[in-house]
A and B are shown apart, each in its own frame.
Chain A
């Protein structure tokens, strides 16, 4: 006897499915389509094939945004990872006041990026900021911070008395590369972008610390007891036990922080500028770039979609890489 088809389960998932299909799946498909047209805010345009992608490839602004995003990721991810693991280790070792410290580290995570970007923008302000106030108090010269387009490597080497821009000038003549490109590559992130890096680390640190703490609490105490008996020191224990057993968590933190950092937007929008994107575009990141193309003056929704898809490609690759490697790091 054949059972009657049961529609029930489908009715239960229907409300969620409608939202997911209409507001996620369709937009993503639409995004592919739109990226091959020249749509603006006023409406559909004509089919132009890969032109948006070709334009992107030749767009210096796109490459600068990619480079800035890359700088952001390679500074934020390792620093955040190390700091949060250190904090989590200290937190794991104490009993009293543990929840107080945990809360303190965690508050930036629950507060809005908008409010704290406004606060940090003023902290880094040249005239009325806290950082310059302290610097001048202890006898240093105030710095430009968010208004400073020079790269941090340039600033560091120049402070040691080296003529960095002269060096780049010679090198660019020597290898036949554009001075500005070479400067952006070798000068490091601008001081303005470095401020963004600090804020991004500060904001995400609490979350990573909590994740690490949860991971550390899962490591059975017997391992350490055994190591104590064998006479292994604390540092040795950290590298031989903690670091090994925590690696799945490290992997998760690494991937999540990378993916989130690729999508940084609010702090750029609120802390840098006017014009947004910082001095000489040195804080323009990929998400701000696509926002600007889509909703800024040019209103080129198609170009913005193409940029979004490139970002999607990067994040998808990272996610798939995560799924692949995840099996290898699990114990």
Chain B
């Protein structure tokens, strides 16, 4: 009894959470004409008028109603207008509705702006960032976790305190700096400042610390140097945390918006989020195209999420627990 209340509440609220996505998808396959007519419910139903003549049903549009008769345009099955301003009796016009899915919206949205290019750019930037973050992160975390050296804690806390600084704070001076380096509107601006992530260092350091000392001793006795120990012992033991860090890095990079918006301009290196944002301004009245573009732009991450949801949710949950 108590359980069923939980399920009802969770279902109702869950529905509210996903309604925007459902509506996004159903609107993405509607014709713009229907949307503009105000048929914005969930079902992609199309309303249209027909006129029957000599046993054949034609699609029509009515132009002007004049008493009992209406002036209409008559179309063939390919929606080519075959006759114009035909005067017919209004009662002969039959309203029909049908479910029709306009998948061509996706193609239109995809080709209207170079989304393919944006996808490739985003994939390139996100992968590079993840790659860089894992390399710098494992090296630094290894030193912080295992080695003893002067200033270690000071440097570590300096890193951590940098993590607390929100992006908007260093956005402006970063622009000044990158401009000075001549990196504005290049991939460098999107990748290099992001190839070290303090959260990743923190995460990996926590993991590396859990590896028992005996294993390090054994490695030393076997004649493993520092780097070999990292490569052969530490990293293989930390696979799941590395995956976590990679997922975090990828999602963060894929979804980042403000930084690429400020640091890049030309369409050749534009990333998906910025491209989508410009598209939403250009095509602000074309609701169904916008919904199609939104759908395919979130699809890669939703697929990634569905495949690795346990890992992803566990990763995010662990971000809340202090190590």
Q: Chain A: residues with CB nearer than 8 A to chain B?
A: 6, 8-10, 12-13, 15-20, 22-28, 30-31, 34, 39, 87, 90-91, 93-94, 97, 99, 101-116, 118-123, 125, 127-130, 133, 202, 205-207, 210-211, 213-215, 249, 252-253, 256, 259, 262-263, 265-266, 269-270, 287, 290-291, 294-295, 301, 304-305, 308-309, 311-312, 315-316, 319
Contact = CB atoms under 8 A, between A and B. Distances in A.
A256 to B, nearest CB: 8
Contact of B166 (A108, A211, A312): A312
B226 A34 contact: no
Given A265-B168, A309-B169, A90 B159 contact: no
Contacts of B293: 118
A117 to B, nearest CB: 8
B23 A119 contact: yes
21 contacts: A9-B149, A10-B149, A15-B196, A16-B196, A16-B201, A20-B162, A22-B193, A25-B158, A30-B176, A94-B10, A103-B305, A105-B17, A112-B272, A119-B23, A122-B27, A125-B287, A128-B287, A206-B17, A249-B320, A304-B172, A311-B169
A19 B136 contact: yes
Contacts of B237: none
- Counting contact residues on chain B (CB < 8 A from A), the size range is 35 or more
B23 A287 contact: no
Nearest to A116: B20
B273 A9 contact: no
Interface stretch (B72-80, B87-95, B96-104, B251-259): B251-259
B1 interface: no
B313 A106 contact: yes
Interface of B: 2-3, 6-7, 9-10, 13-14, 17-21, 23-24, 27, 35-36, 38, 40-41, 135-137, 139-140, 142-144, 147-149, 152, 155, 158-159, 162, 164-177, 192-193, 195-196, 198, 201, 226, 251, 254-255, 257-258, 261-262, 272-273, 276-277, 280, 287, 290-291, 293-294, 297-298, 301-302, 304-306, 309-310, 312-313, 316-322
Given A20-B159, A39-B176, A290-B172, A312 B40 contact: no
A123 B297 contact: no
Q: Give the residue among B35, B172, B174, B302 with the most A Cβ atoms within 10 A.
A: B172
Given A15-B140, A301-B175, A104 B14 contact: yes
Given A28-B173, A94-B6, A128 B298 contact: no
